[in-house]
Amino acid sequence: MSGMLLHQAEQALMPTFFEIDAIVKKNLHRVLNAFRRHNVGVHHFASVSGYGHGDLGRQVLDQVFAEVMGAEAAAVRVQFVSGTHAIACALYGVLRPGDELLAVAGAPYDTLEEVIGLRGENQGSLKDLGITYRQLELQPEGTPDWDAIATSLRPETRMVHIQRSCGYAWRPSLSIADIEKIIVLVKQQNPDVVVFVDNCYGEFVEDQEPTAVGADLMAGSLIKNPGGTIVTAGGYVAGRAELVEQAACRLTAPGIGSEGGATFDQNRLLYQGLFLAPQMVGEAMKGNHLVARVFDQLGYPVNPLPGARRRDVIQAIKLGSPDKIIAFCKAIQEHSPIGSYLSPVPAEMPGYESELVMAGGTFIDGSTSEFSADGPLREPYVVFCQGGTHWTHVAIALEAAIAAIQPYTS
C-alpha cells in the first residue's frame, strides 16, 4: 500500500519538482556569477596555519559568500561550532548592557533560550550582562502579529530578532516577503535599529536571502543548507560590514575580528559546498513535498501543507504519540547511509529543554542536509523531517517509516 501511495505522490509532484528546479537554476546562476567575478581558482584552496593571517582563500570566500547572499560583508568560519554559536556571536557582538532584544516572530529556537537567559543561570547569558529581552507572540494561526510589530519598538530596543524557520513549533515558517514586510515596519519606527535574522534552514529555498531585502545581519550553519552536505563544520554571519566585524570580534577577540582564524585546509570544501548548496536544497524541498503529500493522504496533520510553497527545508508531521516518533526515526536511521545499525533512543541534548529522539545517519555529524528526522518528546508529538540529498532517498526511507508506525495506529 505504501509503495503505491508513494508512486502516485511522485507522479503528481512532477510539475512541482520542475518549479523547484527553476529556483535551483536561479540560485546556481547567482553562485556561479559570484565565483566568476571574484576569479576563484585552485590557489584559493590553500590554507594558512597558525593565526591564519593573510589567508587569501578565506578572504575571497567571504567576498563570494557576501555577494551570493546580497550582503555587504560576510564571515564564513569553521570556528563557529554551530548555527547557534554564529547567532550568539552576532547577538553578543552588537548588543550592549541596557539594550533590548525584541523577537517579533514568536519564541526563538530552543538552543537560544540559554543564550538569552530564559533558561539557565550564571553562564554569561545576555540577561546576565544586563540586556533585556521581549517577544511578540504570533497570531493563533501562527503568523506574525503585523499590528503589534508596527508599534513594537521602544527607545531601548537595539535589535529586532526574526527567526525564519518554524523551529520546534507548529507554525508557518517565514517567507522572504514576510521578512521584508517586518523590516519595513521596524525601520519606519527606527531606521537605526538592527534587524537580525536567524537564517538557519532557509538558505537557497527562495531566490533571495534576508540581507538582499534589507536585513542588517543574519547568521546560519554551514552543516545545514549552505554547506552543500560536504562542509565538515562551521557557520557564517553576513550583513552590514561593521556588524559582521562586531560579530567576528566575539568569535575571535577585539582587534583580531575577521582577520584571524586558520581554515585547516577546509577552503576547497567550503567553496565546493557553496557551489553544491542550491542543488542540495532543491532536492530537500522535493523530499519535503513528498513527505507532506503522503502523510496528508494518510490522515496526519502536516506543516507546511501539500503544495504549499517551501520557506525552509523542514517538514513537520503531527504523529500524535511518542511511540510513533521513535518508530519513525528508527526507520529513517535504518535507511541512512551511515549508522544504519544504530537505534535512536530519546535523550537529553545540550541546549534543548525536552528529550529528543534523532535520526541522522549523515556523513557530517549533526548535519541535517542528508535526509534526517527528529522531534522533542512533548505534546503534540511532532516529528520534523529535514534535508535529503536526492528525493529518491527520501522516498525509500519514507516507505519504511510508514510501515514502522502502522503497529501504533489505532
pLDDT for the residue 263: 94
Tell me how many degrees the CA angle 215-228-230 measures, rounded to the nearest 5.
130
Per-residue model confidence as pLDDT tens digits over 247-271: 999 999 999 999 999 999 999 999 9
Confidence of residue 113 (pLDDT cuts 50, 70, 90): very high
183 within 8 A of 126, measured Cβ to Cβ: no
pLDDT for the residue 94: 98
Who has greater pLDDT, 33 or 122? Answer: 33
Task: Tell me how far CA of residue 352 lies from CA of 119, 166, 217, 227, 366, in angstroms.
Answer: 10, 15, 25, 24, 14
Mean pLDDT of 189-213: 97
pLDDT for the residue 121: 84
Q: What are phi and psi of 135, to 5 degrees?
A: -135, 145
Residue 106 CA to residue 161 CA, distance in Å, equals 9
pLDDT for the residue 382: 94
Mean pLDDT of 163-189: 94
User: Superfamily for 2-25+278-408?
Assistant: Methioning gamme-lyase, C-terminal domain (3.90.1150.60)
27-36, 77-86, 94-103, 165-174: which has the minimum mean pLDDT?
165-174
Which CATH fold topology does 40-274 show? Aspartate Aminotransferase; domain 2 (3.40.640)
Q: Residue ranges of the alpha helices (H) in 38-82?
A: 56-69
pLDDT for the residue 170: 85
pLDDT at 354 over 80: no
Mean pLDDT of 25-34: 98
Per-residue model confidence as pLDDT tens digits over 131-147: 999 999 999 999 999 99
Q: Where are the domains of the chain?
A: 2-25+278-408, 40-274
* pTM for this predicted structure: 0.94
Mean pLDDT of 320-335: 94
Q: How much is the mean pLDDT over the chain? A: 94
Who has greater pLDDT, 110 or 222? Answer: 222
pLDDT for the residue 95: 98
Mean pLDDT of 167-181: 92
β-strand partners of 162 = 197
Per-residue model confidence as pLDDT tens digits over 204-258: 999 999 999 999 999 999 999 999 999 999 999 999 999 999 999 999 999 999 9
Confidence of residue 353 (pLDDT cuts 50, 70, 90): low
Mean pLDDT of 277-284: 97
236 within 8 A of 283, measured Cβ to Cβ: no
Who has greater pLDDT, 353 or 38? Answer: 38
pLDDT at 1 over 60: no
Residue 194's closest CA among 280, 255, 131? Answer: 131
pLDDT at 409 over 80: no
pLDDT for the residue 154: 98
Residue 345 CA to residue 356 CA, distance in Å, equals 8
Who has greater pLDDT, 276 or 370? Answer: 276
pLDDT for the residue 350: 66
User: What is the maximum alpha-carbon separation in the chain?
Assistant: 63
3-state secondary structure of 76: strand
Confidence of residue 410 (pLDDT cuts 50, 70, 90): low
